[in-house]
Amino acid sequence: MASLAHENLDHDDDHEHYRNHHHHHHHANNLNGDSRTHLPKKPRLSFFTESEIATEFAHHDSDVARINNGSFGCCPASVLEAQKVWQHKFLAQPDDFYFNELKKGIHRSRSIIKEIINAEHVDEVSLVDNATTAAAVVLQQTSWAFSEGRFDKGDAIVMLHYAYGAVKKSIEAYVTRAGGYVIEVPLPFPVSSNDEIVTEFRKALEKGKANGRRVRLAVIDHVTSMPCVVIPIKELVKICREEGVDQVFVDAAHGIGCTAVDMKEIGADFYASNLHKWFFCPPSVAFLYCRKSPKLSELHHPVVSHEYGNGLAIESAWIGTRDYSPQLVVPSVLDFVNKFEGGLEGIKKRNHDAVVEMGEMLAKEWGTHLGCPPDMCASMIMIGLPACLGILTEKDTLKLRSHLREKFGVEVPIYFRAPRNSEDVTITGYARISYQVYNKVDDYNKFKDAINKLVSDGFTCSLLTT
């Protein structure tokens, strides 16, 4: 279907093809990414075959049903190869690499990301280690605003109750300690509509503005980690603007490659997404988008080096001697995703459809339900586990997860949902399954069979001691 597009491949403008998902460049080892000088006249026309995909992920432990892409992502062999080439290039002639290659390479990666996320300008895109680092960049700026008197003690920060644990700690370290007042937005789970989220969010902003306080920052997840739900961020950002919230930071650790990521549509001040979770980069690299504004110069990388004061993107591109290869392989990732029908968009859509199908299959098998409607999930979904497993504490979830890993070869995270009251005898344990291009129906059948076996054996979590 896409063969016509390929005829024009050699004439593509570098910056236009990123959003066109029907091209199939084949230059994984061409680190400068200048396909026109190296491509054979007739580029390869076919998409990946099943067996080629299997080869790309042959390094995965074949004994494990890996249905947890959400935690650590994955990286295909062709990208790992490209990473190795970069690493060797550095070690072969470090000075030449530093003076002539590194800046160019990082700029090229940032340009690709800029196109994919529909940012206005490449200066808005910085590459950092991970979402945790991106949160530190944003929150450190908040901390300075308190300590330098631009914010008043008691001014509020709003975040979701389901914010990622590490980001909550960061808020504690940078904001609470600096005198900020932190308000958590409680979210219902299971959740059945965006309205439930919007209502709670509005209430939290009201609380934040009580007693004449100002809401200085809203930290909103795009896809919450545990339990996982896609948050209606476009709507929440709009509400923040209407209610006079100073800044909005979207923690989209599961953003690019997982859900819709368009900076102009979303309109946040800051938006961070890992590239190693759903964008096939090796660990670890994330982008931090910062909307162009005079305030941009107040942002700094928490690891300060020579480039301090030259803009966040440039500061972040040299934070001392280290391995920058994960940031340099973005062009190779683009080659990889464009070998799938529909490119990144196609991957995302198929992953979503498949995870919903697998989730519904499991919920039906176990007589339980999904944690949210299919249109509120991306490439991960929550499924209720049979109540008889006796998941009664956070600790039980970890014990059961280890048991599934060690005894059944299934890797899946489990969530504990506390009963609301003594009459609440509904499901207390949910599994979060992910779907990524390497997954097979068999992975989910293995999980299904493992839980069925536990149920038929009369297993409960109280039987596990460790």
274 lines the binding site for ligand PLP (CB under 6 A): yes
Which is nearer to ligand PLP, 326 or 343 (by Cβ)?
Answer: 326
Which is nearer to ligand PLP, 82 or 253 (by Cβ)?
Answer: 253
**Candidates 198-206, 247-255, 258-266, 323-331; binding stretch for ligand PLP (CB under 6 A):** 247-255
Which is nearer to ligand PLP, 213 or 234 (by Cβ)?
Answer: 234
Instruction: Single out the residue of 115, 251, 269, 411 in contact with ligand PLP (rule: CB under 6 A).
Output: 251
Minimum gap (Å) between residue 45 Cβ and ligand PLP: 36
254 lines the binding site for ligand PLP (CB under 6 A): yes
Cβ contacts of 59-62, under 8 Å, gap ≥ 24: 60/438
Q: How far apart (Å, rounded) are the C-alpha atoms in residues 253 and 221?
A: 8
Q: Are 324 and 98 in contact (CB under 8 A)?
A: no
Which is nearer to ligand PLP, 28 or 167 (by Cβ)?
Answer: 167
Q: How far apart (Å, rounded) are the C-alpha atoms in residues 203 and 234?
A: 18
Minimum gap (Å) between residue 455 Cβ and ligand PLP: 29
Amino acid sitting at position 101: E
Q: How far is CA 323 from CA 89, 277, 462, in A?
A: 11, 19, 45
131 lines the binding site for ligand PLP (CB under 6 A): yes
130 lines the binding site for ligand PLP (CB under 6 A): yes
Q: How far apart (Å, rounded) are the C-alpha atoms in residues 323 and 192?
A: 44
DSSP string, 367-414: T--BSS-GGG-SSEEEEEPPGGG---SHHHHHHHHHHHHHHH-EE--E
Minimum gap (Å) between residue 128 Cβ and ligand PLP: 9
Minimum gap (Å) between residue 16 Cβ and ligand PLP: 30
Binding residues for ligand PLP restricted to 192-231, rule: CB under 6 A: 221, 225
Which is nearer to ligand PLP, 272 or 454 (by Cβ)?
Answer: 272
Which is nearer to ligand PLP, 22 or 254 (by Cβ)?
Answer: 254
132 lines the binding site for ligand PLP (CB under 6 A): yes
Minimum gap (Å) between residue 280 Cβ and ligand PLP: 14
Amino acid sitting at position 204: A
Which is nearer to ligand PLP, 66 or 254 (by Cβ)?
Answer: 254
Tokens for 9? 């491949």
316 lines the binding site for ligand PLP (CB under 6 A): no
CB burial string 393-419: b at 16+ within 10 A, e below: eeebbbbbbebbeeebbbbbbbbbbee
Instruction: Single out the residue of 31, 138, 178, 253 in contact with ligand PLP (rule: CB under 6 A).
Output: 253
Report the largest interatomic distance among the alpha carbons of the chain, rounded to a whole angstrom: 70
Q: Are 123 and 299 in contact (CB under 8 A)?
A: no
Binding mask 381-420 for ligand PLP (x = CB under 6 A): ----------------------------------------
Binding residues for ligand PLP restricted to 42-61, rule: CB under 6 A: none
**Candidates 12-20, 84-92, 250-258, 326-334; binding stretch for ligand PLP (CB under 6 A):** 250-258
**Candidates 61-69, 115-123, 159-167, 302-310; binding stretch for ligand PLP (CB under 6 A):** 159-167
Q: What share of the chain is helix, strand, coil (3-state, %, to 5)?
A: 45, 10, 40
Q: How far apart (Å, rounded) are the C-alpha atoms in residues 348 and 351?
A: 5
State the DSSP H helix or E strand holding residue 270, giving kind and residue range, or none if neither.
Answer: strand 270-274
Binding residues for ligand PLP restricted to 413-452, rule: CB under 6 A: none
CB burial string 78-106: b at 16+ within 10 A, e below: bbeebbebbeebbeeeeeebeeebbeebb
**Candidates 124-132, 179-187, 332-340, 421-429; binding stretch for ligand PLP (CB under 6 A):** 124-132
Which is nearer to ligand PLP, 221 or 246 (by Cβ)?
Answer: 221
Q: How far apart (Å, rounded) are the C-alpha atoms in residues 171 and 232?
A: 22
74 lines the binding site for ligand PLP (CB under 6 A): no
167 lines the binding site for ligand PLP (CB under 6 A): yes
Amino acid sitting at position 108: R
Site residues (vs ligand PLP, CB under 6 A):
130-132, 164, 166-167, 221, 225, 251, 253-254, 274, 284
